[in-house]
A and B are shown apart, each in its own frame.
Chain A
């Protein structure tokens, strides 16, 4: 059987994989970070990108080599070598991927436990979602509530207790790397510790109807004192029948976005990323 420079192919694959990996992890894939969960999650993603770069490089190098070496010349009607398999090789490419994915699963499990660990004194924020608006309640602050905007202190763990009023919605703040569906009939929760002061955007990520793409809210992370002032300034308590019609909710949403001056040509234009206010 004619020799194949397997060692050289392996080295080339690793080299190309390394180049891809180095280039890929320069990119800030998940965008800006704003919570303690972002670090471990982004590191996990970088690990996966590195492993994936090598996998992709191996597939491409071996495919490319096969085409370079064994592409037929016109008129050649002969057959290839009748090789039916190689048990050792087949075991190798069964076992190594198994080890890799089990490693990935174990690592993910550790990260998951890490980011969902609950502190001793979290702040509880109730989230009420409906077509197409967000409202927020502060049960430990006299059950005061806020429409379309919420504040949290920096550096303290927050537990969101989420309730959907009509259909499914989903709570996503990209900088925090957390997401959780709001499910009618049950209360779901999410844990996050914001570690960066600024203004962010809460995005609905579960299809909820015509206003889905504009169902957003303003997220403000600020120092404890400013937060205390803001939360004291809230006047109304969470009403009993917290349910607006979809039209009313959409109108509130429009007012909020108009006040932000962010509507512009787009219903969801940035109120946040482009002008993150450092305070």
Chain B
């Protein structure tokens, strides 16, 4: 036991958590007593004796878990422990519960953890729809209701969509570019372990006096600065989720820029790599803003600073400016990696090169640049200086252009292809194109100031965000998960269950979110626990379809769990794709490659006889005769 408490692992992590909490708690109490104050401060915005341990305990956990062991030894000048890589790979399920630095293990850790939070967030959504099925108050009182939608959005955004894309890319991106691992494997592992910490903190807010944070995921001041203790849990949780996000994107940037296999110039990078490069550029620039603004709220709450206290010269609107300067680019953080996934899935399943590959890559960069210039379109009715509205409207509408380029290029890719619709991944990719188009259209409408004045903060906005985040991001996540499931697990999933999942999700999404457009325009505001009875019928319809949407996800869960254990063995390249991750076995060997592959062509050279994207190290390149394709002559009809 004593030995277990000294070695990095769960026992030492538990001990570290206790020590961290006790340290934070003791620090607050002693400093308060020394200053002649009461030991505890229990005004609702205060509770430093809870908040400080909430910050120190996770560090105790991470130190105990061994997240910093290597760096500490290095910093202290001690001899570092040479890494024999024995911890790489996972042979048992327990290996996923260790501080593992293998990018494939971390990828699985990310994906499973974020799906766990997807189901938590989904359960919260079901409660929301149960309450809204009828006008009046049936299940939860308004305070609890406000907590439900706030945690629903927070969990889905910070613990599901954003880290899920980081997880998928963690697994496939290094292999795709021919790298043995990410650039900073220890930082990578740390990035992952910050996430469950954020999750525990967000969920822990339900136990706080006054209930969970309930000022919306946007946490607008001054509602948030005066809210009960749970709001501080949000402020702190966002720091951990945000730090995770920033560290990962630094890792991706360095990996993509410096670790591509020989021959992989920029124009030979798969679009998923381009997408993650673009996303990471947004994350490193924008995420510090939300971290900063949540600290400002926390300082206002606990230390009595007055950033947003209008009575003491604070500026209420500045919260929104700083918040959206992150949170609008954040919607592209939640969309660009999905664009990348769709490009991979469509090119492979249409057996064709991506139409207009270079413009596709440039469109991503165009979105990155424009994304920083559109934040104030969330504030057209917020009372900000009115001159800013028209310029922001123009940049907002212009962002539809690169987005449109992507949709049209995917259609162009399908033309003259050999379209395989058997795989569920492709079904989700095609469903995504249609569903996302609707979300894009409502986005353009919301970007137009006179329309936004009427639509802002109504259910029309709820419809729009769910069409782009569920019909957009989540559809692309499903496409990616189905597409790379054989690669990650070495087994095939059940396509029949996949199709049930797809159609249930498609019908559920449209049935749930389409009617929200018109009930919003007719006068139903968002974020209400109760609504006028004229909207009763439509809300019942919406709740009914949301139940279908929820049940369809259980089919997915069953399919994934059972197929991972019992599915038929997958070959290395079941979709006959060209990118490098498909040229290794499924699942890939522990270090991905014996020898680094050489990239000799574009990633999507379908239809060109003998064209290769990469030559694996174990092939004798000189002796390789290009294999003729079975039938490269298009079967003209």
Contact = CB atoms under 8 A, between A and B. Distances in A.
A56 B420 CA distance: 23
Given A56-B437, A266-B136, A268-B530, A104 B397 contact: yes
Contacts of A29: 518, 521-522
B146 A210 contact: yes
A85 B315 CA distance: 51
Contacts of B430: 63, 67
A242 interface: no
B153 to A, nearest CB: 12
B450 A102 contact: no
Interface string B346-369: 000011110111110000000000
B176 interface: no
B497 interface: no
B499 interface: no
Contacts of B625: none
Interface stretch (A71-79, A219-227, A231-239): A71-79
Contacts of B141: 210
B523 A59 contact: no
A210 B142 contact: yes
A211 B142 contact: yes
B355 to A, nearest CB: 5
Nearest to A177: B454
Contact of B215 (A30, A203, A207): A207
B415 A78 contact: no
Contact of A213 (B401, B528, B534): B528
Interface in A61-113: 62-63, 66-67, 69-72, 76-86, 89-90, 93-94, 97-98, 101-102, 104-105, 108-109, 111-112
A205 B457 contact: yes
Nearest to A66: B414
B381 A45 contact: no
B216 A207 contact: yes
A209 B421 CA distance: 48
A9 to B, nearest CB: 10
Given A78-B630, A93-B408, A269 B457 contact: no
Contacts of B457: 170, 172, 179, 205-206
Contacts, number: 299
Contacts of A180: 381, 383
B12 to A, nearest CB: 43
Given A105-B448, A207-B146, A273-B534, A82 B316 contact: no
Given A67-B430, A80-B350, A183-B382, A97 B401 contact: yes
B265 interface: no
B418 A76 contact: yes
B142 A90 contact: no
B441 A52 contact: yes
A152 to B, nearest CB: 19
A4 B521 CA distance: 41
A254 interface: no
B405 A79 contact: no
Contact of A4 (B415, B453, B528): B415
B566 interface: no
A183 B316 contact: yes
B140 to A, nearest CB: 11
B411 A1 contact: no
Interface of A: 1-2, 4, 27, 29-31, 37, 40-41, 44-45, 48, 52, 55-56, 59-60, 62-63, 66-67, 69-72, 76-86, 89-90, 93-94, 97-98, 101-102, 104-105, 108-109, 111-112, 115, 162, 166-168, 170, 172, 174, 177-186, 188, 201, 203-214, 264-270, 273-274
Given A4-B415, A63-B434, 17 more contacts: A30-B521, A56-B437, A79-B634, A80-B351, A80-B417, A80-B634, A81-B352, A81-B634, A83-B352, A85-B355, A93-B404, A101-B401, A167-B223, A205-B456, A207-B527, A266-B532, A267-B530
Interface of B: 135-137, 141-143, 146, 215-216, 220, 222-223, 226, 310-311, 314-317, 350-353, 355-359, 381-383, 389-390, 393-394, 397-398, 400-401, 404-405, 407-409, 411-412, 414-421, 430, 433-434, 437-438, 441, 444-445, 448-451, 453-454, 456-458, 518, 521-523, 525-534, 576, 605-608, 611, 629-637
